[in-house]
Amino acid sequence: MSDAPRLILVDLDGTLVGLDGVVSPRNSSVLERAVAAGCRVVVATGRPARIVTPLRKSLGHAIALCYNGAIVLDLATGNILEAHLLDGPVFQDAVERVRASGHTFVVAVEGMPDIGIRAEDGFREGFPIARGTLAELCSVGIVKGLVRVGADQFEAVWDAFSDGFRDTLEVTRSGVEGLIEVSAVGVSKGGVIAGLAASWGIDAADAIAFGDMPNDLEMFRWAGRSVAMGNAEPEVKLAATEVGAHHDEDAVAQVLERWF
């Protein structure tokens, strides 16, 4: 990509935001210049909408993919543009089948923004989270399922979900230790972005993606160019066309300032 990108795809945690949890003035300014030049900016994150909206002041020019793409949010207005829900009975069946094989874990579900997170007992105890049985959790529209596993069983449970339900579930992780994230099949950062870009008349070759974790891989595979942060996991660096600086060093701006 020698010409300026027409679409910028950027992860939040470990990528765009610094160690202080905010978007730096340098990163914010270069994105504003890109938008002024006619570029589209999409923030793609595993975060729920309630944790993305506080960033509207610094990213109000962007579209946000929350919950790894399950919710498409216009940060300028706060309006939900798209929702891709996970079928409750499908998730419940998967959880019950993996538990029947002898694995132990607890689950939670993220609902639409007006519902929020609900969880089984044992999931983040001490936090003010609505509680319920698995059946109760799966009875209301789900945006994303969360599976929390002890370190001794993580790989086995990961394999059970990711290999056993390829036709019905999208399984990934975004860096929270012991947490597996589950969406409806086809719902990933890359999959949802492909649809948005098509509606905007933008080809993958004209897109650049930034990220650091495995939930960014589908986005990397779709975009014509991808930049892994210096702090990214090894498999993400291997998938990228370029490895940049550490995210706390304004790594996104360092790359985009080549054009904007």
User: What is the CATH code of the structural domain delimited by 88-184?
Assistant: 3.30.1240.10
With tokens 């300028």, the residue in question is 76
Give pLDDT tens digits for 57-110.
888 789 999 999 999 999 988 899 999 999 999 999 999 999 999 999 999 999
- Residue ranges of the chain that CATH labels 3.40.50.1000: 7-84+187-256
Q: Where in the chain is the domain with CATH 3.30.1240.10?
A: 88-184
Q: How many CA atoms lie within 13 A of 230 on its CB side?
A: 12
Please give the Cα distance from 154 to 11 (Å, whole number): 24
Strands (E), the chain: 7-10, 40-44, 63-66, 71-74, 80-83, 106-110, 117-119, 130-131, 144-148, 169-172, 179-184, 207-211, 225-228, 242-243
185-237 pLDDT per residue, tens: 999 999 999 999 999 999 999 999 999 999 999 999 999 999 999 999 999 99
- Gap between the Cα atoms of 238 and 71, Å rounded: 28
- 7-84+187-256: what fold? Rossmann fold (3.40.50)
Given 3-state DSSP classes, what are the helix, strand and coil percentages for the chain, each rounded to the nearest 5? 40, 25, 40
At 11, the pLDDT band (50, 70, 90 cuts) reads: very high
pTM of the predicted model, to two decimals?
A: 0.89
96-151 tens-digit pLDDT? 999 999 999 999 999 987 788 999 999 999 899 999 999 999 998 899 999 999 99
Q: Provide the 3-class DSSP secondary structure of residue 34.
A: helix
